[in-house]
Amino acid sequence: MKVSTFYGKKNTIGKKLLELRTQYNYSQEELCSKLSLLGVTLYQVDIYRIEHFQRPVKDFELWAFAKIFNISMDELLDIK
């Protein structure tokens, strides 16, 4: 499967996800645990790859991140 990129990045939320995770003082493993409570299985390496723009984000993962941080998906996408 060919993965498209946007300015060489595989997602647009990596920086925002890292900022939020740091702000909430969650480790990557803690974030994975919170995601699993919502039925989303990601591993520490997945979070790392998302935060470093090396992995695309699925729509249900975007929803789960927004729910955990109590923000809209637009805010996570940094859409103004």
Single pTM value for the model: 0.91
Domains and CATH numbers, the chain: 14-77 (1.10.260.40)
Token pair, residue 51, equals: 């935060």
Which of 40, 64, 48 is CA-nearest to residue 11?
48
Assign 3-state DSSP to the chain and report helix, strand, coil percentages, each to 5.
Answer: 55, 0, 45
Give the pLDDT band of residue 4 (cuts 50, 70, 90). confident
pLDDT tens digits, one per residue of 33-58: 999 999 999 999 999 999 999 999 99
